[in-house]
Amino acid sequence: MVDVQVSYAPTDEEELIRDTARQFLQDRIGLERVRELMMSDDGFEPGLWKEMADLGWLGLAIAEEHGGSGLGPVELGVLLEEMGRLLTPGPFFASAVLATMAIQQIADPESQKRLLPSLAAGETIASLAVYEKPRGWEVLPAATTAETAGDGWRLNGRKRAVLDGHVADLLLVVADTGDGVGVFGVDASADGVAVSQETTLDSTRRQATVSFSGVELNKDDRLDTGDVPTALTRILRMASAALAAEQVGGAQACMDMAVDYAKSRYQFGRPIGSYQAIKHRCANMLMKVEHAKSTAYHALRVMDDSDELAIAAPLAASVCSEAYVWVAGESIQVHGGIGFTWEHDAHLYLKRAKASSLLLGSPWHQRDLMGLALGI
């Protein structure tokens, strides 16, 4: 089996991005503010979105010719790790990661030129509408249909788990054209588009169910070029790797929280961190977090090697998902009663962890994909 060698030591630029991001997020959207947004109707703050655009975050991984910063997945991962650390709410992952990757991977040059700049500028919020079934993460075949109507298309169907679909302007819809599968850019405000927000386990990342009944589309609303199924597989792998970075940040935050508490909380005249039951649990957290980091960092660094990504992405997804869920749960246990209260932040991470582990494919689903890539 080939052994893909990459460098994991962070560059100065990555460190700079990390420090800036951590500082900005902490000041601008700390957990206090996250709680407010969490309880709000749409969990979205336009002002913050604008600032992210100005910081160049929304176009971080978009080519400069399309108004982005032209940076890569590694830098994007740093940003996501910091956002995961503070549970940053809003459609960043949906629009600046998932939808942006989708357009970059699947859309023809014309469409990219048309769409990417407004995504980078934060003028358009996009989301990928690809899932239809309540369980299982296979995205094809699509039951949603796009039939030719005049020189355009007519769209019918229903998509679920559309991330932050309730605030999306542009929906990237995967549909069966009768002659293969296509991807269509749909204006969320168009006639026949009905967006209903769902209540989610993780209130810091919303979802919508979107139905399309006879939505009229122009010819050039069809965005795809090339082999769509292959591109979709690739997009979901890339997104899984990106999500893994976010999960790493969350897991790290849970561990830090637990370790700090274990040092300061006394019972029976001793810090609880001096008891092996707590100490060893924290040590295992450390091991899982470090393992998770290794898989996420690796996946982000092999995004351009599709053979390696086919292994590295599901590897990172399964390892980071399980690590985050475990660390978040054990962190509550270390905190004891207080960790179980609404006022404490521990549960916010558990909810994010559990929901994230089922978003793009459960750990066992990802392992199955990994096995296929490994020939096991």
Partner 1 sequence: MSEDRIQNLVSELLAEHPPETTSNVEFWGAQYDKGLAWAWHPEGFGGLGMSRSDQTRIDQLLVDGGASTENRYLNLLGIAMGAGVLDAHATDEQKRRWLRPMFTTEEIWCQLFSEPGAGSDVAGLATRAVKDGDEWVVNGQKVWTTLAHIAKWGMIVTRTDPDAPKHQGMTYFIVDMEASGVDVRPLYQITGEAEFNEVFFNDVRVPDENRIDAVGAGWRVALTTLMNERVAIGGGSNPRGGGYIGQAVDVWKETGQDDPVLRDELLHLWAEAEAARLTAIRANQMASAGIPGPEGSTGKLAWANLNKEITALTVDLLGLDGTLYPEGYELSRPERSGLHEPSKAFLRTRANSIEGGTSEIMLNILGERVLGLPGEPRVDKDLPWAEVPRG
Region 263-292 residues binding its own copies, contact defined as CB under 8 A: 275-277, 280
Size (the chain), residues: 376
Nearer to partner 1, 8 or 148 (CB): 8
Nearer to its own copies, 74 or 272 (CB): 272
d(CA 67, CA 120): 6
How far apart are CB 359 and partner 1 at their closest, in Å? 6
Nearer to partner 1, 3 or 191 (CB): 3
Report the amino acid identity of residue 14.
Answer: E
Nearer to partner 1, 79 or 208 (CB): 208
**Which of its own copies, partner 1, none binds 351 (CB below 5-8 Å, type-dependent)?**
partner 1
How far apart are CB 342 and partner 1 at their closest, in Å? 4
How far apart are CB 319 and partner 1 at their closest, in Å? 5
**Residue partners of 8: CB distance under 8 A and separation at least 6:** 294, 297, 298, 301
For the purposes of burial, counting CB atoms within 10 Å of the CB of 24, is it exposed (0-12), middle (13-18) or buried (19 or more)?
Answer: middle
Nearer to its own copies, 281 or 351 (CB): 281
d(CA 151, CA 132): 27
- Which tokens sit at 136? 């299982």
Question: Is residue 219 close enough to count as binding its own copies by CB under 8 A?
Answer: no
CA 371 from centroid of its chain's CA atoms = 23
d(CA 268, CA 250): 31
**Which of partner 1, its own copies, none binds 332 (CB below 5-8 Å, type-dependent)?**
partner 1
d(CA 315, CA 292): 9
How far apart are CB 21 and its own copies at their closest, in Å? 39
Asked if 38 and 204 touch (Cβ cutoff 8 Å), the reply is yes
Binding residues for its own copies restricted to 95-124, rule: CB under 8 A: none
How far apart are CB 107 and partner 1 at their closest, in Å? 25
Q: What is the CA radius of gyration of the chain?
A: 21
Nearer to its own copies, 17 or 262 (CB): 262
**Which of its own copies, partner 1, none binds 150 (CB below 5-8 Å, type-dependent)?**
none
Report the amino acid identity of residue 111.
Answer: S
Decide: helix, strand or coil at residue 288. Answer: helix
d(CA 315, CA 326): 17
Task: Supply φ then ψ for residue 127, to 5 degrees.
Answer: -150, 145
d(CA 75, CA 93): 14
Binding residues for its own copies restricted to 299-358, rule: CB under 8 A: none
**Which of its own copies, partner 1, none binds 144 (CB below 5-8 Å, type-dependent)?**
none
Decide: helix, strand or coil at residue 70. Answer: coil
How far apart are CB 130 and partner 1 at their closest, in Å? 11
Decide: helix, strand or coil at residue 162. Answer: strand
Adjacent-strand bridge partners of 175: 182
**Which of partner 1, its own copies, none binds 210 (CB below 5-8 Å, type-dependent)?**
none
How far apart are CB 23 and partner 1 at their closest, in Å? 20
Nearer to its own copies, 22 or 279 (CB): 279
**Which of partner 1, its own copies, none binds 304 (CB below 5-8 Å, type-dependent)?**
none
- Which tokens sit at 10? 């962070």
d(CA 118, CA 53): 10
How far apart are CB 277 and its own copies at their closest, in Å? 4
Nearer to partner 1, 47 or 364 (CB): 364
**Which of partner 1, its own copies, none binds 206 (CB below 5-8 Å, type-dependent)?**
none
- Which tokens sit at 215? 């939505």
**Which of partner 1, its own copies, none binds 136 (CB below 5-8 Å, type-dependent)?**
partner 1
How far apart are CB 263 and its own copies at their closest, in Å? 17
Residues that bind its own copies (CB under 8 A): 275-277, 280
